[in-house]
Amino acid sequence: MKLKIAEFPRNIIAGHDVLHNIRGLCDALPFNKKITIIAGEKTRKIAGDQVCGYLDGYDIRICTTKEVSSENIEYALSEVRDFNTGLIIAVGGGSKIDMAKVISEKCSLPFISIPTSASHDGIASNRASLKTLEGPVSKKTSSPMGIIADTSVIFKSPYRLLASGCADVVSNLTALKDWKFATRLRNEEFSGTAYTLSKYAAESIAENAEHIGRRLETSVWFAIKPIIVSGLSMCIADSSRPTSGAEHMISHYIDREYPGRALHGEQCGVASILTMYLHGGDWKMIRNVLQKIGAPTTARELKLDRDEIIDAMIHAHEIRTDRFTILGTEGISKDAAQTAAEETGVI
């Protein structure tokens, strides 16, 4: 008996000056006309107030939050429930969208995602990153019902965030190698559709790396589609497997042991150079693409010293023992980690 259930965003609108489409999306939905907008202090000014302006006639509550911690989740939950909210709109970067995913799942409410930056590939996915004492934890949630990605809004965010989002998608290339590896060695469930979408997203960033590196609004255009498609591959697989392998485990280890040094996508990009080396694949191509985009390619750019990156490579396998990757169940030796980091120029 085979059963497959995939939940996708219903409307994806991307382009220049497209925020006004929020009105049509809301008008087409049957709900009680009560909307809670989840935003940050800054993102409210960047796009939140403008979104409110397009929703004349709706009853709107703005809930400003910070990172996705259990305290902030409780606060946002009470705001959404007290207001008898019928629809959630998230306006912000990764943490605001993740917050909306968690709240939407807990309250069984639809939500629309309006990213003001694109620093990782979670915009369209059904997974959220939660901040815990043990570091960030990935949790299955709802996927957004609609996405409005306005390139003129995202263009105003620091370019470093977009470069990080692109690096996160480029790192799919090693996540996919790990997936195939686990399928061969562990007979792990595999989805050719999710694999193809994730690969397409990474190759699309690689092909357009030079355009993206020009740091124009068109850079956002070239980047945003693959970033969204990468998230869709997770919806199809109903798992982060197509986009998250050993390189993500290294990044999560860095978040836990050396927090606040660099962005998620930046860490995954550098780690992807290393794990592609371990796979015996074309790590030079990954490094070249990251350089063209302007994303980090060395430990130093991640504000990590030699011992710290080696430590992350040696211990990353402990992060998720259920996810089989090139790091194996025992991890790699210090000598092997050192050789990989030196040969690839990461240290």
User: Contact between 178 and Zn ion (CB under 5 A)?
Assistant: no
Provide CB contacts within 8 A for 43, sequence distance 6+: 91, 92, 93, 96, 116
Residue nearest to Zn ion (CB): 168
Nearer to Zn ion, 46 or 263 (CB): 263
Question: Least distance in Å: CB of 13 to Zn ion?
Answer: 23
Nearer to Zn ion, 157 or 244 (CB): 244
Sign of the alpha-carbon torsion through 86, 234, 128, 184: positive
| Shortest distance, position 259 Cβ to Zn ion, whole Å | 16
Closer to Zn ion by Cβ: residue 85 or 113:
113
Stretch that binds Zn ion, among 105-113, 160-168, 201-209, 336-344 (CB under 5 A): 160-168
- By CB under 5 A, the residues from 8 to 27 that bind Zn ion are none
CA angle 239, 241, 247 (to 5 degrees): 135
Beta carbon of residue 316, minimum distance to Zn ion (angstroms, whole number) = 14
Least Å distance, CB 121 to Zn ion, is: 6
Q: How far is CA 92 from CA 9, 40, 98, 253, in A?
A: 18, 6, 10, 26
Q: Which is nearer to Zn ion, 120 or 287 (CB)?
A: 120
With a CB cutoff of 8 Å and minimum separation 6, the contacts of 269 are 164, 167, 168, 170, 171, 286, 290, 295, 296, 297
Residue (64 or 171) nearer to Zn ion, CB: 171
Residues 95-124 that bind Zn ion (CB under 5 A): 120
- Written as six digits, the tokens of 80 are 């959404």
Interface with Zn ion by CB under 5 A: which range of 61-69, 168-176, 221-229, 320-328?
Answer: 168-176
Q: Is 39 or 268 the residue whose CB approaches Zn ion more closely? A: 268
Q: Are 287 and 275 in contact (CB under 8 A)?
A: no
Q: What is the closest distance, in whole angstroms, from the C-beta atom of residue 165 to Zn ion in the complex?
A: 9
Which of 79, 98, 150, 168 touches Zn ion (CB under 5 A)? 168
Q: Tell me the two tokens of residue 260.
A: 């606040």
Residues 272-311 that bind Zn ion (CB under 5 A): none
Q: How far is CA 237 from the centre of its chain?
A: 15
How far apart are alpha carbons 160 and 295 in whole angstroms? 7
- The binding site for Zn ion (CB under 5 A) comprises 120, 168
